[in-house]
Amino acid sequence: MVTALDDPAMADSALDTGVYGYVIKPFDRNGVLISVANALRRRQLEMETRAHRKSLEETVAERTTELQKSVATLRKALEGSIHAMALTVVMRDPYTAGHQQRVATLACAIAEEMGLSADQIDCIRMAATIHDLGKISIPAEILSKPGSINEIEFNLIKAHPQVGYDILKPIEFPWPIARVVFQHHERLDGSGYPSGLSGEEILTEASVLGVADVVEAMASHRPYRPAQGIDSALEEITQHRGTLYHPDVVDACLKVFREKEFEFEGRPREK
């Protein structure tokens, strides 16, 4: 900018708008040449910086795409492993065929109704799909026993959350799946198993899984009893809301069935 006014405030204002230099008349040739040279150098640096920034942005975009592909591949591998483990449980205990998947579907519906994060819902879905993995340690004749079970047999069954945890603990999941599986039979008042955890000691994801497991199990046929139906299952969690089961989870489950008309796939609810 060339001007006859020697005004520092104007000079500052001009520079703020992007002017490269401020030359006051009368001026000499060398002063103009220096100002022009400085302006050209500044412009060159700006262009180089802009090009470098664009290159960095392109590199970051490429790396982000590669990372997303890697994460997707890893997630697919983890899900494949989980479904393989779930199939192992089904082969050991045909009476619970479909149980884990139905529990997963209900648990995710409850979690969504509660407004849990997408990451928490992923954790719940994965954990629910294999929550009975520890039953592979229970003799098949106990799992399919038509009559009542004795104390020794019941203690073996009660150990399945711990066994499942021990199997899953070495696997580096991006979610606390092993802990959720371990806690899914814990109860709010500390009366559950295997550790008698209570209140805030129990993960929210485990509380959701626990309620979904109870509802599906009561609604399904077992070797030792006929199906009790959805209404009986909902009555159970309502009666023990705030004692055995987390109130927020119970409320969400009831809303899912009564307002959202949730139904287990292939098993329409009786009217």
Among 69, 76, 135, 255, the one annotated catalytic: 135
Q: Is 255 a catalytic residue?
A: no
Strand, helix or coil for residue 24: strand
Please tell me the distance from the alpha carbon of residue 199 to that of residue 25, in angstroms, as a whole number: 81
Q: Where are the alpha helices (DSSP H) in the chain?
A: 8-16, 29-92, 99-114, 118-129, 140-143, 151-158, 160-168, 177-183, 204-219, 230-239, 247-258
DSSP 82-106: HHHHHHHHHHH-GGGTTHHHHHHHH
Pair of tokens at residue 184: 């899914």
Rg of the chain over Cα atoms, rounded to whole angstroms, equals 32
What residues are annotated to the active site?
135
